[in-house]
Amino acid sequence: MKVDKAPEKIILSADRDTKELYTEWVTRDLTDNIKIEYTRTDAFIEKAQLFLIDKLKEIPMGSGKMKIKAECSLDKFIEDFKNYMEGE
How far separated are the first and last CA of the chain, in Å rounded?
Answer: 28
Average pLDDT, integer, range 5-25:
86
Query: Tell me, what's the pLDDT at 15?
Result: 86
Pair (48, 80) in one structural domain: yes
Pair (33, 56) in one structural domain: no
* Residue ranges making up the domain that contains 23: 3-39
* 54 or 87: which leads in pLDDT: 54
Query: Tell me, what's the pLDDT at 79?
Result: 81
Give how many domains the chain has, as a whole number.
Answer: 2
Per-residue pLDDT for 60 more than 80? no
Pair (35, 9) in one structural domain: yes
pLDDT tier for residue 3 given thresholds of 50, 70 and 90: low
Average pLDDT, integer, range 22-36:
84
Query: Tell me, what's the pLDDT at 69?
Result: 53
Per-residue pLDDT for 9 more than 80? yes
Pair (22, 48) in one structural domain: no
Pair (26, 46) in one structural domain: no
